[in-house]
Every structure is written in C-alpha cells, then in structure tokens.
Amino acid sequence: MVAVVTLVVVAALAVATVARAQPYMYYCGSTTGQPEPPALPAGATPLLVQFVTRHGDRAPLRAPCWPQYDYEWNCTLTQLNDPDESAGNKVPSLARAYREHYMYGRNELPGNCEKAQLTDIGYTQQNQLGQIMRKHYITKQQFLPASHNPGDLFVRYDTDSRTKQSALAFIDGLYPRPTDGQKSSQVIDTFTMDRKYDDLSPNTNLCPCISQYQAQVQASPEWQKHQETVVDPLVEQLEAVLGSPVTASWAMDCGMSMQCHGMNLPNGFTEDMLNQLLESQIWQDHELMMYPNVSYYGRLAMGFLLAEMYDAMLNTLAGAAQPKLLLYSAHDSSVETLLNMFDVWDLKWPPYASYVLFELYRDAAGDAAVRVVYNGKQMPLSWCGGNSCSFDEFSQLIQVLTPSDPSTECAC
C-alpha cells in the first residue's frame, strides 16, 4: 500500500490582520495562541491529555459568496507530498517532494485557494498553540519528552485539508522539526478515516436521528418566531444590498472570513448586520443542541468521540500501552457541542484554533480525577459539584453523555 508523506510549507503572510474593534472579531482568534491550561492542584500529576481543537483561520466555506464577488484569496500555504511504502518512524532524507498548488483562477473562489483552505494565519495560530502546549507539558510539567517519541502522541483529523494542516501545524509547534542535518527524515504517523464513519463532528450518517431532531427544532414555534422576526428581515436587507438570494449562514461565513482578513464588506452590508447574523446563528445552534435536552442531542452528535476518549482514560488507568497526548483536529461544531454537553458553553462562537482539553490526572491523595479546560480556562463542572470530577463521578457522567446502544438510539 502506498502512503503519502505530506509536509506543510508556509511562505510570507499574504494578507494583513485587521484591528479587532467590532464585538464579533473574537471569532477570528489570536495569532499568539490561546492561553495555556491553568496549573493542576498542588501535588497533582497529569496522566493523559486529550485535545479537541477547532482548525485555524480559513478561506470562506462557500463560493462565490454573492454575484460580483471579486475578492481574491491567494494562499501561500502549500503541501509537499511524497508517495511512500515504508514503515517506521524514520525514512531516508527526501530527495524529492511534490508541491501541490491550486491553479490560479480555476477555483470557485477567485485566486488560488481551495474553499475553506487553511490560511497562513491559521497555520500560525495552530503552530502557536502547539508551542504553548510544549511550554506547558514539556518545559513546565515534564509530562512529555523533549523530543518526539512515537508512542506518546496520537493525531487524528477528518478529510478536510484545513483540519489536517491545522494538526500538522500544532505538531510542528509541540515538536519543532529537527534542524541538525540528519541523514534521515522523521516520520510522525497521523490518522483519518472515511467521512461517513467519522465522529470528530456531528455526523448524520453515523446517527440519522440528528437530522430528525433538526427538522423538529426548526418546526418549533420558538424557531419559527426567530426566523420571522430576526432571520427573514436580515436576509431581506442583505438581498437588497447584494442583489441576489442569500442565506443567513452563508452571508455570515463569508462576511466573517473577509473581516478576519481586513477585507471591507460590500457597501450596505454593515458591521451591525454581520454581528446580528453571528448572534442569530449562535441562537440557532444553541436551540438545536438543547433539543430534546442538553445531554441527549450531544450524546448522539459527539458522544461517539467522547466514548473513545473515555476508553483512552480507562486504558491509561489500567496501565495499558496508551499515548500520553491525543489530538483531535476538528471544527467549531465539535467544540461548541462538547462544551454544551457539559453545560459550560458561553454562547460565543469558538474562535479559530480554540481547544477543549480533557485532562486525566492523579491528585495529591493518589485518586484519579478529570478536568475540562476551554481556551485556558478550567470549566466549572456543576455535574460534579466543582471544577473537576473524581474519576468515578466522570464515569457516571459518561453514562449520560455517550450512547448506550447506538443502533437503537440512532435508528429513527
């Protein structure tokens, strides 16, 4: 079987960042990285860390955003590929690699970017996050070795290029590439799967009930009132300004992508309208995730991944061979759904390069416990009556938040 060795190559920044003056600009994230996790309680030691991240800054998801959309997206982030049949964590130094380009002017977005492609800003955000975690878990905690050890790291992403490149950027920050002129190249295995079976984000293929719940929520009186009083008037204004039919989510994504890159919105598309679009989308996401209750939607949308993460904790406590750090490079829907499941979502869109950390540790008394950290802040876990859960408490919570019988619960 032939694998492909992939390298991420970053050139100079193609676009300037914009001053973060508007209330919605938190969405864009920071190029200096999210804050590191707070220190564990005195005498505690980490046993296992698992990150679910949102990818870094990207180009718009959809194209063209509207007629006469002429904003160019020229990406300097590329990939070097090399077909490979070897095994092991070392290969001879690459004598040749193949650089992949999107051809200028031949894509749905004007310029040379793939739709939703990770930008150089996004690469920097994730690389900075990796550096912050290196400082925390290697320099301070000495939890991970200073040099990469294959058994300590597990990396997974879905089939979107932005989650893949975000994961590689994080690794490059956590473990900078060797620069000592070695005659062999270091290989770090990463993992993905067919999208049909992927549980890194809510997946209606894995659980068709999600689609049914979405339809039921959208038929509710509350949703219809929001549609009539908030969404429809906004869309009417936008269509008058842009001269074509649009959807609220489409306009929000395109507008936020532009604002994060210092691009001016079209005349008449005001910053207030963009903020209303973002707040409206947050309201809709929250309504969906609360149906039929705070835990049930989450268990079908993200409970499959949470069950895998819990299994990793069990393996660690049982002394089984188990990586110390697991990275799941995912999406905003992944992050906000997990936060909502634990009743700690702040009703703000997860910024680019956000992370949710599930940390298994042993306290000073020798008992296992779990804490949840979001972008540097330890979240209060009301289910457990404090800022962390004993492992027994967390295990009980897992029974609520993960499917007990997926074949039955997802068969609508």
First to last CA, the chain: 38
Taking a C-beta distance cutoff of 8 angstroms, is the pair 261, 239 a contact?
no
pTM to 2 decimals?
0.94
Beta bridge partners of 46: 361
User: Cα(123)–Cα(166) distance, rounded to whole angstroms?
Assistant: 6
Taking a C-beta distance cutoff of 8 angstroms, is the pair 273, 234 a contact?
yes
In this structure, what token pair is assigned to residue 389?
A: 């859960």
* pLDDT confidence of residue 8: 56
Q: How confident is the model at residue 20 (pLDDT cuts 50, 70, 90)?
A: very low
* pLDDT confidence of residue 181: 65
User: Residue 9: pLDDT above 70?
Assistant: no
Contacts of 180 (CB under 8 A, 6+ apart): none
User: Residue 196: pLDDT above 70?
Assistant: yes
The torsion angle over the Cα atoms of residues 155, 157, 159 and 165, rounded to 10 degrees, is: -80
User: Residue 184: pLDDT above 90?
Assistant: no
* pLDDT confidence of residue 329: 98
Average pLDDT, the chain: 91
Q: For 39-98, write each residue's pLDDT tens digit.
A: 999 999 999 999 999 999 999 998 888 888 889 999 999 888 888 777 777 777 777 888
* pLDDT confidence of residue 114: 94
* pLDDT confidence of residue 2: 44
What is the radius of gyration, based on Cα positions, of the chain? 22
Three-class DSSP labels, 276-315: HHHHHHHHHHHHHHCCCCCCHHHHHHCHHHHHHHHHHHHH
3-state secondary structure of 85: coil
Burial (CB count <10 Å: 0-12, 13-18, 19+), residue 294: middle
Average pLDDT (311-329) is: 97
User: Cα(213)–Cα(209) distance, rounded to whole angstroms?
Assistant: 6
Sequence length of the chain is 412
User: Residue 237: pLDDT above 90?
Assistant: yes
Q: How confident is the model at residue 222 (pLDDT cuts 50, 70, 90)?
A: very high
Q: How confident is the model at residue 399 (pLDDT cuts 50, 70, 90)?
A: very high
